[in-house]
Amino acid sequence: MVESEEKRERLLGIVSRWAKHTKANQMLRDGDIPNLVSQILEEFYHIHLCCGHMVDSFDEETPLSIKEIEQETGSPVISYGSYCKDCAEQYKKDGITLNSKEEEESYLAGVIR
């Protein structure tokens, strides 16, 4: 992506100038600044999902209601989150998702497990 490469180069220049100005570059190894720039851009241009995976757009995420048990009381609780398509499919196969408001209410009431 051209825009991302342009931003990467601009950010690389800014960080490199800062490192030289503050003399921080004397403590850095080759590749430290490009690695830092890549990590910064990754944080801003990717979406971190509840499953730990990253995607580029919200079109690639699947919102789910997940069955959980509160550890202290043993009561049923629901965890809401966004997951990648592969993890969402696996959670559905594992039977730990709730697919409607009615299912959520039944789960919290202890009718379904």
Indicate yes or no: pTM above 0.85. Answer: no
DSSP states along 30-97: TTHHHHHHHHHHHHHHSEE-TTS-EESSGGGEEEEEEEEE-TTT--EEEEEEEEEHHHHHHHHHTT-E
pLDDT in tens, 8-29: 788 788 888 877 777 776 777 7
Write down the pLDDT at residue 70.
Answer: 92
Structure tokens at 106: 């039944």
Q: How confident is the model at residue 85 (pLDDT cuts 50, 70, 90)?
A: very high
**In this model, does residue 33 exceed pLDDT 90?**
no
**How many Cα atoms occupy the beta-carbon half-sphere of 55 within 13 Å?**
15
> What's the average model confidence in pLDDT over 45-71?
87
